[in-house]
Structure 1
Amino acid sequence: MLKIVGSILLLSLVGLLTVRCSDLYTAMSDLEGIFKTEGRMIKAVEEYLRQERDRLEKIETKLANLRRLNQEGQEDVDAYLSHPFNAFLLTKRFLWEWVDLENWIKISMPSREYIFNTTGLRSKGPQQSDLDGAAEALWRLQDTYKFTPAELVEGAKTEDALKAHHCFEVGRLAYHVANDKYHAIPWMEEAHRLLNNETMEGDFFTMNETEILDHLAFASFSEERLDDAIAFTNKLIALVPDSIRYTDNKAYYQYLLDKKYRPRGETGDLKKLSLDDVEEEEEEEEIAEEDMDEDDLRKVHPDIRQYRALCRGDEGVVKSMPKPALRTCSYQHYDQPQLILQPAKEEIAFVKPRIVVYHDILSNEEIAALKDIAKPRNSTSGHLEQTKFRISKCGWVQHDEAEVIRRLYRRVGAYTGLSMNATEFLQIANYGLGGHYLPHFDFTRDVATHKNGNRIASMLFYLSDVAKGGDTVFIDAGAKIKPEKGSAIFWYNLFKNGKVDERTKHASCPVISGSKWVANMWMHEHGQEFRRPCSTGKSE
């Protein structure tokens, strides 16, 4: 509208300035027309001022909302960012709401300096890939912990309360950006449930019930949920009875649904079934699908199913210590002089495979020092491992880089009795929003590629507590270890005969709330011959 008003104003001025004076004064009657032209110009400027005031009011409203959200988040940054939906909203706000505000400011010419300054600042902040990753983290938490959208956002600090457009935005990302109709459906359903004549003026996205149902209908069709597609389309037809597209879509969905329950005969022709036959087949189909959970229907790999069940703590999946080998805790010095006055706090968490938890192996001061060393690497020479397999940010620290590193290697040598000469650099990693590591082994099957042999053992240090999620699970063993700041877990990846221990397949559960810091230390075979002597036993 402002462009239109500007064009009218410009044309009016051009029309006035191109009239020659002689023509004007020789035709006095034209003065009446000039008065009318001037009147239109005055009205055009008045309209411009009105719209400018409206624009500034909207900018002020948007700015007040952004200021309030920023202040709320800064009251307790750690608590705010520990909730995954808050982290998503912060990223989304940076990429959408601020862009929307800039668009309103760009309309005004005096805003050039502002745009120049803020564009440079925004380039250093979250990008579209960060928003996509934040949304994928929400979907990952849904898949792993079977959260509904309402459960997932519980406790998040939205503008006032959870609104339909919050859920619509997540569903829209799944639908359009990720082409993930499966995850779009529950968020759109929640958006539809929450939609109660909400005022969307000033929001980046505007949507209504028709738009939500339109997304739901096609997403359901894409996921072969034809009954749902028809149900949503019926609601669309009720809202827009004259729509040919919705009517045609319903007919097509119904055709596919009917075809689904008509098995082909030997000739390839469709059998003529009675209504009773169709109902009977539908009932059998429903019974078969009822016996399958969502992972069955989506053909999820058994390891991933077990991993998710362990992360949730499903009954019968997480295994406890077998009797009579009860979970035991003890002080140990392992005949090491340096541990006489400050022995190791050892807890046998699991027997097969043997998983040992060392409590208080790190002090708070040492943890802070390790994080300080790692943070510059995580932002520069480190890298973000963001794949379907692993999402974390990590850096590598050399053995002799700092006294705290050297002290840690000596301590691990004393605790485990292993040589540290063939130990990899310490890896320090941070798992944030939905950060995880899918089931994997630490050992390699191609030993020839490692001059120091295979990874004989692993030590995983927990540098932080995790409010929710982030557990370490061992897939085949059924063991589950909760992160505890200052503790570490230790296990052997190889039997004494040098064969790999398949029971050590492990994973990191997605972080629900909080930030997870860990450090990994991997010891190799070479140099361990007299510290962990070989054996011909198959299970030693």
Structure 2
Amino acid sequence: MSANICSDHQNVCKHKSEKISVRNNVNIAKNNASAIRLVSIVLIALFQSHFVTIVSGVRESNELRNAREDVFSSTSKLEELVHNEFQVLDLLTTFTEYTIEKATMIKGYVDNQRRLLGNRKSAKDIVAHPVDAYVLTRRLTADWEDVQLALHAVSNYSTGVYSWIGSFREGSNFPQGDDLNGAAQALVRLQDTYRLNMASLTQGVVNPLQKSVVNSDSIKFEGVEGLTARDLLFLGKHAYSNGLYHRAIEWLQGAESVAAKESNGTMLLSEIAPSLQSAIDTHDDILERQGPQGTGWKTNPVPINPILSRSAKYNLTVPNTFQTKLFQRQTEEEETEHYVRLCRGEKLRPAMMEAQLKCRMKNDGSPYLIVSPLKIEEESHDPYIVIVHDFITEKQADALVELGKPKLYRSRHRHHKEGNLDVVSQKRISKNAWIKDWEDKLMIKITRRVELVSGLKAFQPKEAEDYQIANYGLGGLYVPHTDHLMNNPDKSIYTQWERFVGDRIATLMIYLTNVGAGGGTVFPRAGVTLRPRKGSAAFWWNLDKSLVGDENTRHGACAVLYGDKWVSNKWIRSNEQFLKAPCGLHPLDKHKRP
């Protein structure tokens, strides 16, 4: 009897022990799940904290710039975008791999459960079997914990990634709507200026009609991908808004052509047709009422509408032939036409005038230049414009670029109608920085060479301005302008400092990079085109010997078609040069050195 009691007691104890063991296992599983969840939450928190710290640092750095800077106006800033995008892509890659891992686990759970449920006809069949009933209970407890944890982790991870990317974009000066509009206007301008083949451009190939604008061995430049129908519609609308009605029609016709072939269907033909018809109607109306070209608009010489094109006035119209107009006042339309043609590589000067230009070596008796004489290439005798080849080394050019990069901000230009204020506009697409002579020992060496080339004083602030480093952006340009600024007879409108130092008597511009295509410097009234070559410097006089501005030095920077353009300008002021550049005996006398 006592033996049976002891045996029963042992069985009860064993049963209790098993129950306690099961309970402990469940508690351990719950504790493990809680621990894993806690680790997940901690990791997400650390992830968010770490990247918020990074973004805060970026934001604080940018806040020092006082305002958001656009991106499209500098290739340097566009390069930063590439690095930023790689950071985002790396994070998204990690997030995608993590999400796929969790989704694979969840899918395995779903597939397994469906397989088990699929072998039974009804719920009654499933719960009738004790093992199946146990497995059902386990699936919805222990197994479900894993699924729930995976969903929770992915949700937290997704929230963290979304938050970080949003903060990173805000703090890293990612492009916004105005950048996209600026990029679109640049592409439209490049196509019009260089007469790019529209079919090739649609496929991502830059193929200028005139090969003289290409500064390298390449005939054309192929991109990674082409333009979608949606892109072409967007660009066509920008061409329309800029008054380039004939180009708007080309872009929109290209959109129709691409839309008909697209497999992903970024735009429907029915969405493009109204814009194309509107462009055609406006094109023909402007041509009928205002003619084929004017300030702010341009059309084809003949209407698109076949009925209008058969009009007698278009059949009798003599083709518009361009007439060069050099060394005299030009209207805004004439200057623009000369500027664009020179940028395209057309020759506007008589061959006899160009035949008088020479290349020569010059040392002026200087010990420094005897060892390393100036390599002068004459580009124009009046106004006097020369290229000094190998003005600095390629290594020095690279150093100047690196000095300028951290300080770049959007370039401005003088707007006389706005009270002589410096303004930002589409007339100057670039960013610039200012470097003082004493900031780096390299600048002292370069300034010494500036003085040797020009024969002028350039070290002191009253003698010359700081170095301006400029980087041109997507389709970067600067429309025709003069470097001399003090043209108003009423000198009281200028600052006291400007009156003290005088006007810009001369310009020395150093090309810091080679440019693949486009990006030249042209003088519309003088018919001169300068092609950028790394390390070379252009020099010209802005004032004659009477300190009167020479309007024939009006010049512009051509749009960069392909490549990266950096330049450095040194503007020399006039008042301290009275011994170095004395007045002439005749009011029209001009400087002729180097």
Q: The TM-score by the shorter chain falls in which range?
A: 0.5 to 0.7
Identity of aligned residues (%): 32
Aligned residue for 1:446?
488
Which string of whole-angstrom CA distances, capped at 9 and with x for unpartnered residues, describes residues 19-69 of structure 1? xxxxxxxxxxxxxxxxxxxxxxxxxxxxxxxxxxxxxxxxxxxxxxxxxxx
Which string of whole-angstrom CA distances, capped at 9 and with x for unpartnered residues, describes residues 437-472 of structure 1? 111111120373222111111101100010000011
SS of corresponding position for 2:479: strand
Of 335, 358, 363, the match for 1:333: 363
TM-score (norm 2): 0.58
Of the two, which has the highest radius of gyration?
Answer: 2
Give me the whole-angstrom Cα distance separating, in 2, the residues matched to 1:512 and 1:328. Answer: 29
Shift of 1:216: 0.3
Of 204, 209, 214, the match for 2:269: 209
Aligned residue for 1:288?
317
Shift of 1:156: 4.2
AA partner of residue 446 (structure 1): N
Give me the whole-angstrom Cα distance separating, in 2, the residues matched to 1:312 and 1:426. Answer: 29
Aligned residue for 1:503?
552
Shift of 1:116: 0.8
Aligned residue for 1:322?
353
Of 325, 341, 344, the match for 2:374: 344
Give me the whole-angstrom Cα distance separating, in 1, the residues matched to 2:308 and 2:393. Answer: 67
Unaligned runs of 5+ in 1: 1-80, 229-256, 261-277, 294-298
| Equivalence map 1:234-245=2 (5 Å) | none
The alpha-carbon distance between structure 1 residues 285 and 417, as it changes in their structure 2 partners (threshold 3 A), is same
Give me the whole-angstrom Cα distance separating, in 1, the residues matched to 2:402 and 2:425. Answer: 26
Shift of 1:281: 8.4
SS of corresponding position for 1:322: helix
Which string of whole-angstrom CA distances, capped at 9 and with x for unpartnered residues, describes residues 227-262 of structure 1? 99xxxxxxxxxxxxxxxxxxxxxxxxxxxx9xx9xx
Give me the whole-angstrom Cα distance separating, in 2, the residues matched to 1:301 and 1:170. Answer: 24
Of 421, 427, 436, the match for 1:389: 427
Aligned residue for 1:191?
255
Contact 1:318 1:480 in 2 (8 A): no
| Equivalence map 1:191-270=2 (5 Å) | 191-200=255-264, 206-224=266-284
Shift of 1:226: 9.3
Give me the whole-angstrom Cα distance separating, in 2, the residues matched to 1:226 and 1:494. Answer: 42
Aligned residue for 2:571?
522
Shift of 1:119: 1.2
| Equivalence map 1:55-204=2 (5 Å) | 111-123=158-170, 124=172, 125-152=174-201, 153-154=204-205, 155-159=221-225, 162-172=227-237, 183-200=247-264
Give me the whole-angstrom Cα distance separating, in 2, the residues matched to 1:363 and 1:292. Answer: 44
Contact 1:307 1:475 in 2 (8 A): yes
The alpha-carbon distance between structure 1 residues 428 and 506, as it changes in their structure 2 partners (threshold 3 A), is same
The alpha-carbon distance between structure 1 residues 284 and 407, as it changes in their structure 2 partners (threshold 3 A), is same
Aligned residue for 2:526?
477
Shift of 1:301: 1.4
Which string of whole-angstrom CA distances, capped at 9 and with x for unpartnered residues, describes residues 319-371 of structure 1? 5562762x322221112222221111111122111111100011122112111
SS of corresponding position for 1:489: strand
Contact 1:455 1:493 in 2 (8 A): yes
Give me the whole-angstrom Cα distance separating, in 2, the residues matched to 1:192 and 1:324. Answer: 49
Contact 1:220 1:226 in 2 (8 A): no
Give me the whole-angstrom Cα distance separating, in 2, the residues matched to 1:483 and 1:323. Answer: 19
Give me the whole-angstrom Cα distance separating, in 2, the residues matched to 1:178 and 1:323. Answer: 36
Contact 1:148 1:186 in 2 (8 A): no
Give me the whole-angstrom Cα distance separating, in 1, the residues matched to 2:180 and 2:437. Answer: 36
SS of corresponding position for 2:276: helix
Contact 1:188 1:216 in 2 (8 A): yes
AA partner of residue 184 (structure 1): A
Contact 2:390 2:536 in 1 (8 A): yes
Higher RCO (Cα < 8 Å, 6 or more apart):
2
Shift of 1:150: 2.8
Aligned residue for 1:70?
none
SS of corresponding position for 2:507: strand
The alpha-carbon distance between structure 1 residues 526 and 516, as it changes in their structure 2 partners (threshold 3 A), is same
Which string of whole-angstrom CA distances, capped at 9 and with x for unpartnered residues, describes residues 280-318 of structure 1? 98121454385489xxxxx9711111100111123x525
Aligned residue for 1:271?
none
Determine if the alignment matches structure 1 residue 460 to structure 2 residue 531. no
Give me the whole-angstrom Cα distance separating, in 1, the residues matched to 2:457 and 2:287. Answer: 63
| Equivalence map 1:282-431=2 (5 Å) | 282-288=311-317, 291=320, 301-314=333-346, 316-318=347-349, 322=353, 325=356, 327-378=357-408, 382-385=409-412, 387-420=425-458, 421=460, 422-431=463-472
Give me the whole-angstrom Cα distance separating, in 2, the residues matched to 1:490 and 1:321. Answer: 23
**Superposed CA RMSD:** 3.6
Q: Work out the number of aligned pairs and report it.
A: 384
Contact 1:319 1:478 in 2 (8 A): no
The alpha-carbon distance between structure 1 residues 285 and 339, as it changes in their structure 2 partners (threshold 3 A), is same
Of 526, 542, 546, the match for 1:493: 542
The alpha-carbon distance between structure 1 residues 531 and 280, as it changes in their structure 2 partners (threshold 3 A), is closer
AA partner of residue 196 (structure 1): A
